[in-house]
Amino acid sequence: MKTKPNRGKGDTAGNSCITEVVINDKPTRLLLDPGAFCSCVGKSFLKTCVPDFEDHLLPIYGIKFNIASNPMKELGIFETNIIFPHINGNLRITVEFVVMENCPSTHFILGNDYLIIGAFASDKEPLGSIIGHEIDINLNIERPYPPLLRGPTYPAGPKSREALEIHSKELLDLGVIRKVGHNEEVEMTTPVIVELHNGKSRMVGDCGALNTYTVPEQYPIPKIQVALTQIYQAVYISTMDSLKGFSQNLMTLRARKYLRNIVHC
């Protein structure tokens, strides 16, 4: 419990907003500044953490920045992953820092722009979480479940095994999946494979057996005339290429036990 400070000692009552994070596999300091509209870092300090950062700068166009009314000289955008260590699981986010030539800070400054950048999926962070529309799975059978629903692991070569380990670690770090506890009962397992497309790999679960015993859902597709009527006189129309989009649908607590992945890790 804190007590009210004596008059003239108000500067001693505040809490520090500087925390320890991991950037580029190195522990460093970061200031949480919700009042800043963009995240930034000084060139000199960034060089101590990422010596070759200038080789990875993204261009910046026509924007002027000031810190405490002092004009800053911007060099470019440095994009990196930040890991917030925690005993219950690390948090990782992707942030774009504006690199300032003459910024004297001795830490990274995290503004409120990361909230917007992380709100949607992108090619850099292809996981967009859909909240409020959890998916449930209803089976057309009861216990005991058939052996078909306890699929064994598929054979995986060295390249596929390496890709599975990388994808599993990324999903664990993002909090999308978790390891099954030693005391948890596992009644179903979904084997996982690696799918290669255009030189990139993706971890895919084979839910063929599960689909056999799942009650199908109906997704009515609207007629073209109905769709055109709904957008009649619209001022703005937003579209998305579903083939290139990524989304992460959350599962209900009851349905998660049906999606226990089993991999070569």
For residue 3, is it within any domain? no
Please give the pLDDT value at position 116: 66
Q: Hey, is 85 helix, strand or coil?
A: coil
| CATH number where 256 lies | 3.10.10
Please give the pLDDT value at position 27: 92
Show the low-confidence residues of the chain (pLDDT under 70).
1-5, 10-14, 62, 68, 116-131, 219-220, 240-248, 264-265
Residue 199 and residue 173 share a domain? yes
Please give the pLDDT value at position 241: 62
* H/E run at residue 5: none
Please give the pLDDT value at position 119: 56
* Residue 160: Cβ-neighbour burial (10 angstroms; 0-12, 13-18, 19+): buried
Contacts of 35 (CB under 8 A, 6+ apart): 111, 112
Residue 38 and residue 142 share a domain? no
Q: How far apart are CA 121 and CA 245, in angstroms?
A: 7
Residue 111 and residue 210 share a domain? no
Please give the pLDDT value at position 173: 81
Q: How far apart are CA 77 and CA 97, in angstroms?
A: 6
* H/E run at residue 64: none
Smallest CA-to-CA distance from 90 within 33, 20, 38, 39 is with 20
Residue 153 and residue 72 share a domain? no
ω into 144 cis (within 30 of 0): yes
Tell me the three-class secondary structure of 230-255, residue by residue. HCCCCCCCCCCCCCCCCCEEEECHHH
CB contact at 8 A, 192 and 205 = yes
Q: How far apart are CA 91 and CA 243, in angstroms?
A: 28
For residue 9, is it within any domain? no
- Which long-range contacts (C-beta less than 8 Å, at least 24 apart) are formed by 224-232? none
Residue-number span of the structural domain to which 51 is assigned: 16-119
DSSP string, 176-239: S--PPPTT-----BEEEEEEEETTEEEEEE--HHHHHTBPPPP-PPPPHHHHHHHTTT-S----
Residue 111 and residue 140 share a domain? no
Q: How many structural domains is the chain composed of?
A: 2
Residue 174 and residue 98 share a domain? no
* Residue whose tokens read 């599960």: 210
* H/E run at residue 149: none
What is the β-pairing status of strands 26-32 and 18-23?
antiparallel
Answering whether pTM is above 0.85, one says no
Please give the pLDDT value at position 21: 92
Please give the pLDDT value at position 11: 64
| CATH number where 71 lies | 2.40.70.10
